Structure 1
Amino acid sequence: MVGIVGYGAYIPRYRIKVEEIARVWNKDPEAIKKGLLVYEKAVAGLDEDTATIAVEAAKNALKRAEIDSKDIGAVYVGSESHPYAVKPTATIVAEAIDATPNLTAADLEFACKAGTAGIQICLGLVKSGMVKYGLAIGADTAQGAPGDALEFTAASGGAAYIIGNKDVIAHINDTFSYTTDTPDFWRREGKPYPRHGGRFTGEPAYFKHVINAAKGLMEKVGTKPEDYDYCVFHQPNGKFYIRVAKILGFKEEQYKYGLLTPYIGNTYSGAVPLGLSNILDKCEGGEKILAVSYGSGAGSDAFDIIVDEKIKKVKDRAKKTKEYIEEKEYIDYAIYAKFRKKIKM
């Protein structure tokens, strides 16, 4: 069985509260918190970007896997905020973790599901025998235009997964994807901030794809919502996440540990990988997990996962997701604007 051999998270320590952003733009913070179910978000510092986040997450994954980084034959970094328009983030990560140069590496982009697309690619490469281990990372320093609704949620963070077939701590039984051309969110070349088509965002985009991917996978593997101990979905905000979980028939005990957006914001490509890492931190072995990502444009990847008892030996080898969430330093809007380079010269 092919699956997760090691996993690791990273979330910057800086936070900005919804109230602070609302103060600057003269908006009602209580209405925003109620409407989005988001209270604060993680902000990358001046010396942080998608590459540094990906490296830290990868190092944590290696600590748990305890494998030789030279055995990693593939590195994929999924993000919509790569630091270079032309130069891969994946090569930076590979060099930083001292991987062999005899590997395949690439950056992936599919809005917020590029990280899970990397996991699927690594699954295929390991199953085919082309590589011994594959490293898939979902990381972002998400963009939101000043004053735009996205600014209240667009956050920074990411998680990394090492995929292999030896000493697997979580078996990925199967995966299923659902994809259409639905223009709900986009950013044109050279533009600093994305735009969103409001009427496409909910029903024809997020809900249609997440629901169809989840149902498609459950039909494929013969499972029902009650067969899962935990579930995690993409979370552009807390409201969408809880609504889709309930539509699919999941209860709070199943979905609450994967829901991180209220406390760190929407980390885009890092959202489902981070939610899954928080769930894995709590597992003891034997748990069954449903994970469903979503990327605007639009598509969803769903995974059926069974956790092995080996996870008890590895999960304490690296800093846990909850620790990153709890270690925080609040900043005001001026520092936030400086960190995120919102002031254009």
Structure 2
Amino acid sequence: MVGIITYGAYVPRYRIKTEEIARVWGSNGAEIANGLGVFEKSVPDLDEDTLTISVNAARFALARREVNPDDIGAIYVGSESHPYAVKPTSVTVGEAIGATPVMTAADYEFACKAGTAGIQTCMGLVKSGMVKYGVAIGADIAQGAPGDALEYTAAAGGAAFVIGDDDVIAEINDTCSYSSDTPDFWRREGQAYPRHGGRFSGEPAYFKHIQGAANLMMEKMGTKPSDYDYAIFHQPNAKFPRTVAAMLKFTSEQIKPGLAVPYLGNTYSGAVPVGLSATLDIAKPGDRIFVTSYGSGSGSDAFDITVTDAIETEIDRKAAPGVEELLLDKEYLDYAMYAKHKGKIVMQK
């Protein structure tokens, strides 16, 4: 039985309302914001980045359950916004939680599904007996050019999962992936902001890959949407996950607990991990969770998860803030302060 033994999420406390972004960029901006179904998004503090988000999420995970750092044999951090082009985020996270030096560590990148790819890697290492515990993190300080549609959603946040095989709180029954060379979103080395294919990002990118992985997962497990209590789909905005859920015959009630994007924004590699964390915050033993991530370029990872009795006996969920609590702890910025926090404007020296 391989699965999640503890978890933690982190969201910066600063926010900007999408109507404030629309105020700066005019009437077309308001139309974009309304269409995306995102009302506000998180903004990193001046000293926050993917590394600090990852460390906080990992520490929250370990606050919920005592884990000997010496037993952590792997750390993988998935992100589009690692603070260094050449220097791993993962080893610094390991140092911060006391897991170094006996571990394998790497930084992953596959657009918004790099965090779920880390979960798959940790599953394999644990199942093979190579490590006792692995830590998989999905976190991002998402980028969006001023005035671009991405700016209305690109947010900051992430979550960490400790994967093991003893007293798991959520068993990962199986996982599968669906990938192809579909370039809907990209950012070349040295460029500050990504570019995207507009409507092309929906079909044949997002919808094709999520449906491909989801249908493959249910075919492998012999299940149907009604067999699951909850479902989490990648949430670049509020419209896409609701649409793909309906396409797959999942209900709005199944996706509601994990749909953080209306008041969080798109945390890229952190989007599905934060949504899964929000669902685990309220899950009960026996609940079954369906998860499908998406990363541009393009690919999806799907998971079939069953919550166990250990979620009520082996961890203290109240020992770290839940996603709902993190979203309620907020302070709003105007566009000028937001631009300063995001490095869109800098002081000339």
TM-score relative to the length of structure 2 = 0.97
For residues 174-193 of structure 1, what are the structure 2 equivalents within 5 Å? Answer: 174-193=174-193
1:257 is paired with a residue of what secondary structure?
A: coil
Q: Which residue of 2 aligns with 1:255?
A: 255
Q: How many residues align?
A: 345
The change in CA–CA distance for 1:198 and 1:30 in structure 2 (over 3 A counts) is closer
| Higher alpha-carbon deviation: 189-198 or 305-314 | 305-314
Contiguous gaps of at least 5 residues in structure 1 = none
1:273 is paired with a residue of what secondary structure?
A: helix
Contact 1:183 1:200 in 2 (8 A): no
Is residue 2:319 matched to residue 1:317?
Answer: yes
| Higher alpha-carbon deviation: 58-67 or 226-235 | 58-67
Q: For residues 45 and 329 of structure 2, what CA distance do their matches in structure 1 show?
A: 14
Q: Which residue of 1 aligns with 2:101?
A: 101
Is residue 2:162 matched to residue 1:136?
Answer: no
Q: For residues 231 and 69 of structure 2, what CA distance do their matches in structure 1 show?
A: 30
For residues 1-345 of structure 1, what are the structure 2 equivalents within 5 Å? Answer: 1-28=1-28, 30-313=30-313, 314=315, 315-343=317-345
| Higher alpha-carbon deviation: 2-11 or 25-34 | 25-34
**How far is the alpha carbon of 1:32 from its aligned partner?**
2.7
Contact 1:83 1:89 in 2 (8 A): yes
Q: For residues 108 and 155 of structure 1, what CA distance do their matches in structure 2 show?
A: 19
TM-score relative to the length of structure 1 = 0.98
**How far is the alpha carbon of 1:127 from its aligned partner?**
0.2
Contact 2:22 2:33 in 1 (8 A): no
**How far is the alpha carbon of 1:30 from its aligned partner?**
4.7
Q: For residues 33 and 342 of structure 2, what CA distance do their matches in structure 1 show?
A: 22
Q: Percent identity?
A: 66
2:77 is paired with a residue of what secondary structure?
A: strand
Q: For residues 196 and 27 of structure 2, what CA distance do their matches in structure 1 show?
A: 20
Contact 1:65 1:162 in 2 (8 A): no
Q: Residues 193-229 of structure 1: CA distance to partner in whole angstroms, max 9, x if unpaired? A: 0000124201110000000100000000111000000
Q: For residues 27 and 156 of structure 1, what CA distance do their matches in structure 2 show?
A: 26
Q: Residues 37-93 of structure 1: CA distance to partner in whole angstroms, max 9, x if unpaired? A: 100000000010000000000001112231111210000000000000100000110
Contact 1:9 1:321 in 2 (8 A): yes
> CA RMSD of the aligned region, Å?
1.0
Contact 2:51 2:83 in 1 (8 A): yes
Contiguous gaps of at least 5 residues in structure 2 = none
Q: For residues 186 and 27 of structure 2, what CA distance do their matches in structure 1 show?
A: 25
